Amino acid sequence: MDILRGWVIGLAAVSFWQGSTAQVPGGVQKPNAAALAEWRARVPEIQKLLEASDEQNCRGAPAPEIVDAFGSSKEGLSVALVDYCSGGAYTDSLIPMLLVEGKPAQARFRGANGKAIRVEFMSGASAMHSRFVELGAEQKAIYDRFTENDGAGKVASCGVKAYVWNAQSRTFDLDFRLSRTASADYCRRLRAKQ
């Protein structure tokens, strides 16, 4: 029964964030239809790029799926989350991509210290764990959310890492302040629903 309760809370976290994204710090919004269409037209090009790099050993995986996207005409920034490969028993691996000189490229990331880091984004839920990734067009950010439930199905820990676009370095940089704000809001809302 406790496992079932944890699974239900994991699913509630999914539906909670899908239903209330407009209130999330950082301006996370529903995907932009025009940006999604533009990225979906590039799926064959994206698949060739990902198969060539094949960092995740996913050769032969189904065609990539564009799950979220936004575009900003001000900076010419167009970003997408691409579901390319299963990440495990309950997760899918999501790859953030952007257009560089009109061609898809994998996004690059830096830690708060400005050094390049490798970030793996997963999305999915089980009875005890959940991970979700969303784009925030207003803040030009990528939000990586997690929840860990205890044996009774209650939230034991949760948080958000926010990576914000840096136009100068052309990277997404870990932003501690936005991460703290988004984490506090996310965790407060999850615990209020228990």
Residue 32 has a pLDDT of 84
Residue 114 has a pLDDT of 94
What rounded mean pLDDT belongs to the chain?
Answer: 82
What span, in angstroms and rounded, lies between the C-alpha atoms of 10 and 184? 18
Phi first, then psi, for residue 37 (nearest 5°) are -60, -45
What span, in angstroms and rounded, lies between the C-alpha atoms of 1 and 15? 21
Residue, of 65 and 14, whose pLDDT is higher = 65
pTM of the model: 0.82
The H or E element that residue 105 is part of is: strand 103-106
Among candidates 46, 98, 107, 105, which has minimal Cα distance to 75?
98
Residue, of 60 and 134, whose pLDDT is higher = 134
Tell me the mean pLDDT in the region 7-27: 41
Give tens-digit pLDDT for 80-94. Answer: 999 987 767 788 889
Tell me the mean pLDDT in the region 174-187: 97
pLDDT(52) > 60: yes
DSSP symbols for 35-84: HHHHHHTTHHHHHHHHHHH-TT--TTPPPPEEEEEEEETTTTEEEEEEEE
Residue 11 has a pLDDT of 41
Residue 194 has a pLDDT of 82
Tell me the mean pLDDT in the region 58-85: 82
The answer to whether 192 and 154 are in contact (CB under 8 A) is no
The answer to whether 151 and 59 are in contact (CB under 8 A) is no
